[in-house]
């Protein structure tokens, strides 16, 4: 059981690290990413860059929503609403 949970954790961690590295390559190393990963297709890079920016914005908005929701739940529990 412990081995399975460790494997799941490392798989999840690996996926997150991969997505962070990919995001960093897309944003900071444009030419390297276009040549290495997209075979010189600039239009596809523009689409991927837009998707990456939207995903990061969504993640920030999701975090803000969860923080606001926690605050509202605390206010309701305290009886202030």
Q: Give the per-residue pLDDT at 36.
A: 85
pLDDT above 80 (res 81): no
Q: Give the per-residue pLDDT at 63.
A: 96
Contact status, residue 50 vs residue 44, Cβ threshold 8 Å:
no
Q: How far is CA 29 from the centre of its chain?
A: 18
Domain regions of the chain by residue span: 2-78
Of residues 1 and 64, more confidently modeled = 64
The pTM score is: 0.69
* pLDDT 10s digits, 35-79: 888 898 999 999 999 999 999 999 999 999 999 999 999 999 988
| Sign of the dihedral defined by the CA atoms of residues 37, 38, 40, 43, in that order | negative
């Amino acid at each position: 059981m412990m081995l399975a949970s460790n494997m799941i954790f490392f798989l999840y961690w690996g996926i997150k690290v991969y997505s962070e590295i990919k995001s960093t390559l897309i944003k900071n190393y444009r030419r390297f990413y276009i040549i290495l990963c997209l075979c010189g297709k600039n239009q596809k890079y523009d689409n991927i860059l837009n998707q990456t920016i939207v995903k990061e914005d969504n993640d920030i908005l999701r975090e803000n929503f969860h923080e606001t929701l926690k605050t509202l739940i605390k206010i309701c529990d305290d009886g202030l609403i």
